[in-house]
């Protein structure tokens, strides 16, 4: 027995990479043999029907997405029953497509993770009832996902980011700053007191009738503003950032929307054009509103970094700021954030734009994170409901405001 053992030890063990190569030469996919757990993620919280299969190592096996942006652009905003109908029409096809591009049969899945909060009730309902039918058929666990938690954790699929880190989530429906201390352990430092920046940019784009602009007709409002702003002069109009006196980390965007609206009305009068036609100064307006948005977001984020360092919630050097959500795919806003992180010895990390906007990968990855941490895995789905409104983590924004941290002025030369 002893000799046998020694002989076995003497034989060189093939390295994992050589074994993979060997298996590939027979047409096997080694990933399947050294199987990591696989999760199907499903997202229907707003206007994207998305699904993806991701494994524990972060490998994306397959994904599919159906965006409703073009339909909602035509109706001038999301009409919930229309979004619900489109989710219903597409969910089966999208899940099938994600599975078939993965070359994975549903029986190989370890769990299904689905967004159940927050979001549009009618949209969340479609993803949830579809998922519950599937977990029931497959007899596998269900992992309910908080949409904002998923946006916050996406970065860990791409980079080795340890907890704690600071996250700025800016999208069409959300705007918050939070300290991420663990997979489901968040401290909310600040949030928008009214609308989200993406919502404001969408409204400004609509007011500017950018859907009629030949270069922007199929773009979301925020993307259209970013595109047009490149052709404009941000100094042409002076739009002041909101909440300059409030020394907290909250945000506000309705004032910005109304000021911009007034500028547009004034310009329409001056140029003698009707509402619905494109102004000659549209690019200047887009540049000015994007600049003010970027400065406002940067300032609140700067204060959040200083607060976390002051309270030892983040390391003094090499702390990480993650920016995600649809609006974080804006490169002008990213540059403004980079000015802040350079001034505070932090590192800015942003997922690529396609992972900043809603997608199935972030939901599947959040499922993997929860599976690894052993939190929120349901073996019995009785009584599970979607929640249109649901805050993220423990709200300490009042304490942050009471600290009244003064933020040094930075030159926003973008």
Q: Closest distance between ligand KG4 and the C-beta of residue 176, in Å? A: 12
Q: Which of residues 263-282 bind ligand KG4 (CB under 6 A)?
A: none
Question: How many residues belong to the site for ligand KG4 (CB under 6 A)?
Answer: 20
Question: 């009042």: which residue's tokens?
Answer: 398
Whose Cβ is closer to ligand KG4: residue 149's or residue 226's?
Answer: 226
* Cα–Cα distance, 114 to 137 (Å, whole number): 16
Residue closer to Zn ion, measured from CB, 131 or 171? 171
Region binding ligand KG4 by CB under 6 A among candidate stretches 85-93, 196-204, 250-258, 380-388? 196-204
Quote the CA–CA distance of 218 and 350 in Å, as a whole number: 24
Pull the structure tokens for residue 297. 């977001």
Please, what is the minimum distance in Å from the beta carbon of residue 67 to ligand KG4? 9
Residues of this chain, 219-238, that bind ligand KG4 according to CB under 6 A = 220-223, 226
Which entry of Zn ion, ligand KG4, none binds 198, CB below 5 to 8 A by partner kind?
Answer: ligand KG4
Nearest approach, Cβ of 219 to ligand KG4 (angstroms)?
8
Binding at 242: pick from ligand KG4, Zn ion, none (beta carbon under 5-8 Å per type): none
Rounded Cα gap, residues 55 and 36, in angstroms: 6
Residue 369 Cβ, how far from ligand KG4 at the closest point, in Å? 19
The C-alpha atoms of residue 292 and residue 265 are separated, in whole angstroms, by 19
Considering beta carbons, is residue 65 or 295 the nearer one to Zn ion? 65
Binding range to ligand KG4, per CB under 6 A, among 136-144, 194-202, 234-242, 254-262:
194-202
CA 342 distance to own-chain centroid: 23
Residue 330 interacting entry, from ligand KG4, Zn ion, none, C-beta within 5 to 8 Å by type: ligand KG4
Give me the residues paired with residue 40 across strands: 53, 112
Closest distance to ligand KG4 from the beta carbon of 299 (Å): 18
Question: Residues interacting with Zn ion, by CB under 5 A?
Answer: 171, 358
Binding mask 348-387 for ligand KG4 (x = CB under 6 A): ---------xx-----------------------------
Decide if residue 46 touches ligand KG4 (CB under 6 A): yes
3-state secondary structure the chain: CHHHHHHHHHCCCCCHHHHHHHHHCCCCCHHHHCCCCEEEEEECCCCEEEEEEEECCCCEEEEEEEECHHHHHHHCCCCHHHHHHHHHHHHHHHHHHHHHHHCCCHHHCCEEEEEEECCCHHHHHHHHHHHHHHHHHHCCCEEEEEHHHHHHHCHHHHCCCCCCEEEEEECCCCEEEEEEEECCEEEEEEEECCCCHHHHHHHHHHHCCHHHCCCCCCCCHHHHHHHHHCCCCCCCCCCCCCCCCCCCCCECCHHHHHHHHHHHHHHHHHHCCCECECCCCHHHHHHHHHHHHHHHHHHHHHHHHHHHHHCCCCCCCCEEEEEECHHHHCHHHHHHHHHHHHHCCEEEECCCHHHHCCCHHHHHHHHHHHHHHCCCCECCCCCCCCCCCCCCCEECHHHHHHHCCCCCCCCCCC
**171 is a site residue for ligand KG4 (CB under 6 A):** yes
User: 152 vs 211, which CB is nearer to Zn ion?
Assistant: 152
Q: Considering the rule CB under 6 A, would residue 401 count as an interface residue with ligand KG4?
A: no
Please say which residue, 69 or 129, places its beta carbon nearer to ligand KG4. Answer: 69
Report what 221 binds from ligand KG4, Zn ion, none; CB cut-off 5-8 Å by kind. Answer: ligand KG4
Q: How far is the CB of 223 from ligand KG4 (least distance, A)?
A: 4
Residues 306-345 binding ligand KG4 (CB under 6 A) are: 325-327, 329-330
**Which C-beta is closer to ligand KG4: that of 174 or that of 309?**
174
∠ CA 353-358-360, rounded to 5°: 110
**Which residues from 172-191 bind ligand KG4, rule CB under 6 A?**
172-173
Q: Which one, 378 or 414, has the nearer CB to ligand KG4?
A: 414
190 or 325, CB closer to ligand KG4?
A: 325
Stretch that binds ligand KG4, among 28-36, 198-206, 336-344, 364-372 (CB under 6 A): 198-206
Listed ranges 109-117, 171-179, 278-286, 308-316: which one lies at the site for ligand KG4 (CB under 6 A):
171-179
* Helix 282-310 vs helix 221-229: crossing angle, to nearest 10: 110
Task: Kindly list the residues in this chain that would bind ligand KG4 in the complex (CB under 6 A).
Answer: 46, 171-173, 198-199, 201-202, 220-223, 226, 325-327, 329-330, 357-358
């Amino acid at each position: 027995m002893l000799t046998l053992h020694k002989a076995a030890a003497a034989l060189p063990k093939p390295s994992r990479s050589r074994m993979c190569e060997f298996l590939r030469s027979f047409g096997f996919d080694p990933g399947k043999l050294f199987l990591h757990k696989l999760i199907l993620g499903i997202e229907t919280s707003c206007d994207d029907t998305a699904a993806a299969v991701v494994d524990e190592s972060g490998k994306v096996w397959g994904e599919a997405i159906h965006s409703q942006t073009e339909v909602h652009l035509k109706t001038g905003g999301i009409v919930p029953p229309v979004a619900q109908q489109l989710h219903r029409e597409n969910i089966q096809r999208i899940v099938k497509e994600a599975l078939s591009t993965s070359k994975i049969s549903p029986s190989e899945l370890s769990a299904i993770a689905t967004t159940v909060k927050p979001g549009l009730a009618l949209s969340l309902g479609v993803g949830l009832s579809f998922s519950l039918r599937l977990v029931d058929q497959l007899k596998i666990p269900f992992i309910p996902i908080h949409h904002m938690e998923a946006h916050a954790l996406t970065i860990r699929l791409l980079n080795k980011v340890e907890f704690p880190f600071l996250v700025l989530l800016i999208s069409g429906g959300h705007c918050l700053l939070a300290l991420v201390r663990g997979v489901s352990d968040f401290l909310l430092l600040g949030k928008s007191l009214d609308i989200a920046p993406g919502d404001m940019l969408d409204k400004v784009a609509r007011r500017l009738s950018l859907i009629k602009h030949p270069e922007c007709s199929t773009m979301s409002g925020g993307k259209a503003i970013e595109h047009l702003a490149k052709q404009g002069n941000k100094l042409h109009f002076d739009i002041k950032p909101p909440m300059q006196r409030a020394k907290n980390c909250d945000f506000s965007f309705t004032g910005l929307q109304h000021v911009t609206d007034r500028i547009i009305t004034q310009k329409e009068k001056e140029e003698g054009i009707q509402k619905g036609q494109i102004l000659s100064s549209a690019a200047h307006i887009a540049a000015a509103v994007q600049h003010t948005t970027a400065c406002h977001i940067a300032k609140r984020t700067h204060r959040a970094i200083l607060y976390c360092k002051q309270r030892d919630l983040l390391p003094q050097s090499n702390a990480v700021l993650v920016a995600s959500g649809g609006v974080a795919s804006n490169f002008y806003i990213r540059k403004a954030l980079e000015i802040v992180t350079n001034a505070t010895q932090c590192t800015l990390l942003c997922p690529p734009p396609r992972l900043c906007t809603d997608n199935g990968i972030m939901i599947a990855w959040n499922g993997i994170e929860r599976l690894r941490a052993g939190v929120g895995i349901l073996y019995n789905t009785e009584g599970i409901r979607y929640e249109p409104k649901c805050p993220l983590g423990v709200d300490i924004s009042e304490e942050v405001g009471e600290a009244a941290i003064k933020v040094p002025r930075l030159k926003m030369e973008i």
